[in-house]
Structure 1
Amino acid sequence: MTIAPTTLTRAAGLCAVAAGLLFIGVQINHPHLDVAFVTTTESTVRQSAKVLMAALSLAGITGMYLRQVKQTGVLGLLGYVLFGVGYLIIMSIGVVATVVLPSLVHSAPGYVDDVLAVAAGGHATGDIGLMEPLNLLSGITYLAGGLIFGIALFRAGILARWAAALLAGGTLATIAIPLLPQINERLFALPTGVALIGLGYSLWREQRTPAARPMPGPVSSRLDPAGTR
């Protein structure tokens, strides 16, 4: 069985579409994060979906970058690395929230509450170790990576430019979350989710369209006189 590069690129596009749908889906009717919620089945399902979303997003943006590595240049590489690191950290935090935190609810509820507070943009009252700087690094790499990667994709002009612009603008808009406490912060995930869907579909469609084969010209269609000897 031979796997062509176009097949992998199309698969990456579908991964991005699925990631965008999951990113939007997990935000719908998301309850408040607290110690009681961590032990519920709904929490396990939502956190597992976030881990899957991050993994699919990483596969999707990798396909986008490799498809236009020459066109995006150094800016594209910087954006891809930052955005990829952001999704890796998101995936890691999701694993911790799914596997580790539920086991600490009864033995260390204060620690769990502090981790959830930091994850929601608040502050911890106790020591949570590296979880606080990890959350901060996640926000920085996600914001900077999405902005730079979106700009690089927009400049390359191969995938849907509206989706690239939405990716850059959507991730940048997350800066406004602390300034707008009256607005549900989960609404800020919608532009990025839609952008991933648009870019993924654009990548899948672009690879689905076969390149036009050059038609033989009148000169090349003639028999080479040397071939008659």
Structure 2
Amino acid sequence: MHTGATREGAMKPTARQLLRWSGLAAVVAGVIFAGIQPIHPPDFLASVTTQAWAVIMPLKTLMCLLFLIGIAGLYFRQLGNVGWVGFLGFVCLTLSWWLQTGFVFAEALIVPVLATAAPQFIDSFLGIVNGVPGEMDIGALPAVYGVVGILYMLGGLLLGIATFRAGVLPRAPAALLAAASLLTPLAALLPHEIQRYAAIPVGLALAWLGLALWLERDAQSATPELHLQTSPPSMPG
């Protein structure tokens, strides 16, 4: 009985193992985010039934889910060190990718099906992204997508600043994340086909932070006492 209990205990994931795997999730998501930008199909009706769309959109859906895991790991690794700034950044960035997952899921599985049956709707839906308004009223979707962008910028900026100040993870990618997020609105001044390249530094920064978390092997320092965190996060000194 003792041997069985020991074996069962050895099979249970520890907080350190979960954090390291969340780091790997951030690496994969960040690499996908940066890597797909140069090859992303145009966000127009003619693209949604192409092979490129059929490959890229499911990959983006996976990317969004991995980002949710990876961002959580990056935050909880620094819990107690990043304060309210880090907490707000974590919440904003998580909400951004959570909402973005819904849009990407629709692009992957719904948009191609409706491309022939409801082309006006698809034109209007893709107009949220490509900046060319469609003829159909699609309700609150454009406003929600605007919120996604605001949360994405604020989340990256705040989490980057808090991570830089905390010094738990490398400061260079934290600074890159904050700077790239802060400059994201300037991408609106660029032609649409170039705008998405602004995502590359953000993807690389999150992948870099995730890699640092994945490679971390200090058993004591890499394991936050999650079960003891009962009070609100405090500001770092």
Q: Is the 8 A contact 1:51 1:90 kept in 2?
A: no
- What does residue 186 of structure 1 align with? 196
Q: Which whole-Å CA distance do the structure 2 matches of 1:88 and 1:103 have between them? A: 23
C-alpha contact (below 8 Å) 1:83/1:144 kept by paired residues: yes
State the Cα distance separating 1:141 from its structure 2 match.
Answer: 0.8
How far apart, in 1, do the equivalents of 2:87 and 2:115 lie? 41
**How far apart, CA to CA, are the structure 1 residues paired with 2:134 and 2:193?**
22
Letter in 1 for 2:164: F
1:119 aligned residue? 129
Percentage identity across aligned positions? Answer: 39
Mapped to 2, the partners of 1:33 and 1:3 lie a distance apart of 41
Distance 1:183 1:108 in 2: 25
Please, what TM-score do these two structures have when normalized by structure 2?
Answer: 0.84
Larger Rg belongs to: 1
Kindly indicate whether the alpha-carbon contact (under 8 Å) linking 1:163 and 1:199 is maintained by their aligned counterparts in 2.
yes
SS in 2 for 1:70: coil
Rate the CA distance shift 1:130–1:44 in 2: closer, same or farther, 3 A.
farther
The 5-angstrom pairing of residues 1-229 of structure 1 reads: 1-181=11-191, 184-206=194-216, 208-211=217-220
- Give the residue type in structure 1 aligned to 2:39: N
Paired residue type of 1:99: L
Displacement of 1:6 in angstroms is 0.7
TM-score, normalising length: structure 1: 0.87
Structure 1 position 169, deviation (Å): 1.1
Distance 2:76 2:123 in 1: 41
Name the CA distance, whole Å, in 2 between partners of 1:182 and 1:19: 23
Q: 1:65, CA displacement in angstroms? A: 0.8
Q: In angstroms, what is the RMSD of aligned CA positions?
A: 1.7
Distance 1:148 1:118 in 2: 26
Per mean C-alpha deviation after superposition, the further-off stretch among 49-58 and 120-129 is 120-129
CA deviation map 1:135-154 (0-9, x unaligned): 11111111111111111111
Q: Could you list the runs of 4 or more consecutive aligned residues of structure 1 that deviate by over 6 angstroms after TM superposition?
A: none
SS of the aligned residue for 1:123 comes to coil
Q: Distance in 2 between matches of 1:77 and 1:83?
A: 10
Q: Closer, same or farther in 2 for the Cα pair 1:173/1:124, shift >3 Å?
A: farther
Q: CA deviation at 1:42?
A: 1.6
Indicate the SS of the match to 1:43: helix
Aligned residue pairs, count: 211
